[in-house]
Structure 1
Amino acid sequence: MLTENDELVKITAVGTISIPKQFRKYLGIQKGDYVKVSIQGDTLILKRVNIS
């Protein structure tokens, strides 16, 4: 079930997904930025990180 904070995205043949524009804008994620990817149970977590 999707809520107002959810967005349905499709995984491509090579395993990539697109982060919806409104989420990137909210988190301040731009082209070339890094995100940390982790798993918690059956949930995939993406977290913005700063790499200097």
Structure 2
Amino acid sequence: MASENYEHHEILVKISSAGTISIPKQFRKYMEMQKGDYVKVILGRDRLIVRKAMIS
């Protein structure tokens, strides 16, 4: 992960009409994610957890 200090852990995002959401740029930068990367989406009781996935 990036070594910079990250202060904002929550950002409100809107679901598009196609059902997609965008991961905010600062989150992608912190997680070292880029276009074409995979993420795993985990359903919790009242939350979705998005985790960076490594495909070999």
- Is this a same-fold pair by TM over 0.5? yes
Gaps of 5+ in 2: 1-7
Q: Which has the higher contact order (CA 8 A, sep 6+)?
A: 2
Other-structure match for 2:10 = 6
Please identify which structure carries the higher strand content: 1
**Aligned-residue CA RMSD in angstroms?**
0.7
Structure 1, residues 7-48: CA drift from partner, whole Å, max 9, x if none? 111000010000000000010110000000011111100000
Match of 1:19 among 23, 28, 40: 23
Other-structure match for 1:46 = 50
The list of structure 1 runs, each at least 4 consecutive aligned residues, that deviate by more than 4 angstroms after superposition, is none
TM-score where L is the length of structure 1 = 0.88
| Number of positions where the alignment pairs a residue of Structure 1 with one of Structure 2 | 49
